[in-house]
Amino acid sequence: MLEIAIQTQKLSRKFGNLTAVDGIDLQVAAGQFFGFLGPNGAGKSTTIKMLTGLLAPTSGAMELLGLDFAAHPVNVKRQIGVVPEGMGLFERLTGAEYLQFVGQMYGLDRATTQRRADELLEFMQLADRPKTLIADYSHGMQKKLALAAAVIHGPRILFLDEPFEGVDALAAGALKALLGRMAERGTTIFLTSHVLEIVERLCSHVAIIHKGRLVAQGSLEELRAGIPGEADSKTTLEQIFLSIVGQDGAERPQLEELSWLM
């Protein structure tokens, strides 16, 4: 039987009257490269924050790596890595100092942390300005550092909220190669991205969330098979996505409403 890395039961989060995540049942097998898709405001970041302990669910349950999150929060967090939406870096440190801090927080010894930090800074092409504070990094540099920090302890599940946003083509290529290698070695990768071509290339399985509800989940082939009409192996993920979340024609903004702009 497939080992399950992530499983949620009726996971929900409310903000006041708004139900941002509405009773979702997610299932991600160990070692899967999993894409979590949905329109802006659908509930993706809220779900990732709950799955990584950054935000408490209003109701529902989560099991990660066979452990009930609520019962074993520290044991779960030790084995996962995350680049959250806001990154949450300590901006008054240099990149090297930050990785040193994060590595030791995860219990790595000083020498191991130092070696991994050096390798990661080199890989992310962040090694040539060792004295620069994170506050003075560009957005893309901060993103790469956040990713380095998320993997320094060798997590078994890696959560990435928009990892490619603001990252240049060269770095994105290196990043894709790194993530692909980690997935091959058995790391479960759970990412959100609006760049559907990348998701299609990297991910074997996807789930789509729309207005807080899970509206599709499965392998790309399963999703293709599930959409009405003449889907075949050439149907792109973008077509699948639009057919699932864009069915409601009334939701598409009408250009005529912006007539004063044209």
Ligand X SMILES: Nc1ncnc2c1ncn2[C@@H]1O[C@H](COP(=O)(O)OP(=O)(O)OP(=O)(O)O)[C@@H](O)[C@H]1O
Residues of the shown chain interacting with Mg ion in the complex, contacts defined by CB under 5 A: 44-45
* Shortest spacing between CB 4 and ligand X, in angstroms: 23
**32 vs 45, beta carbon nearer Mg ion:** 45
Q: Which does 86 bind (CB under 5 to 8 A by kind): ligand X, Mg ion, none?
A: none
**82 vs 152, beta carbon nearer ligand X:** 82
Q: Is the dihedral of CA 78, 80, 85, 90 positive or negative?
A: positive
* Shortest spacing between CB 136 and ligand X, in angstroms: 26
* Shortest spacing between CB 55 and ligand X, in angstroms: 8
**10 vs 92, beta carbon nearer ligand X:** 10
Q: Which does 126 bind (CB under 5 to 8 A by kind): ligand X, Mg ion, none?
A: none
Return the exposure string of 122-148: e unless at least 16 CB atoms fall within 10 Å of the residue's CB, then b: ebbebeeeeeeebeebeebbbbbbbbb
Distances, alpha carbon 135 to alpha carbons 91, 93, 127, 153, in Å:
5, 8, 16, 24
CB 34 within 8 A of CB 206: yes
What is the DSSP pairing of strand 188-192 with strand 33-37? parallel
**94 vs 192, beta carbon nearer Mg ion:** 192
Q: Which does 113 bind (CB under 5 to 8 A by kind): ligand X, Mg ion, none?
A: none
* Shortest spacing between CB 85 and Mg ion, in angstroms: 5
* Shortest spacing between CB 191 and Mg ion, in angstroms: 11
CB 38 within 8 A of CB 209: yes
* Shortest spacing between CB 241 and ligand X, in angstroms: 13
Q: Which does 20 bind (CB under 5 to 8 A by kind): Mg ion, ligand X, none?
A: ligand X
Question: In which residue are the tokens 């490619």 written?
Answer: 164
CB 205 within 8 A of CB 48: no
Q: Which residues bind ligand X (CB under 6 A)?
A: 15, 18, 20, 38, 40-46
Amino acid at 34: F
Q: Which does 40 bind (CB under 5 to 8 A by kind): Mg ion, ligand X, none?
A: ligand X
Total length of the chain: 262
CB 37 within 8 A of CB 192: yes
Instruction: Provide the token pair at 210.
Output: 């729309």
**44 vs 144, beta carbon nearer Mg ion:** 44
Q: Which does 42 bind (CB under 5 to 8 A by kind): ligand X, Mg ion, none?
A: ligand X
**45 vs 187, beta carbon nearer Mg ion:** 45
